[in-house]
Amino acid sequence: MMVIAALFTLLVIADVLLIIRVHRIYRSSGASFAKARQELSQGVAANETVRSAAAGAATSTFSAMASGSGGGSGGRY
């Protein structure tokens, strides 16, 4: 039990260190949320292939939900 707790603690420490490293890289690159939002709106959202794939996925999801074949055993959860 203590071994599992020690390994879990080591993983938490590693996760925190990785988050700090990614944050430092992000800040040193001059990136901002405004730039990311602009890039998303100009790049991904304007791409016709991405838009049609998203529309197709949404259509199939809603039609499956409407027909009641949403998967699972038929229960709500």
Global pTM exceeds 0.85? no
For residues 45 and 51, the answer to whether their CB atoms sit within 8 Å is yes
Residues in the chain: 77
Would you say residue 76 has pLDDT above 70? no
Q: Tens digit of pLDDT for each residue in 4-21? A: 999 999 999 999 999 999
Q: Where are the beta strands (DSSP E) in the chain?
A: none
Instruction: Collapse the DSSP code of 77 into the 3-class scheme (helix H, G, I; strand E, B; otherwise coil) and give the result.
Output: coil
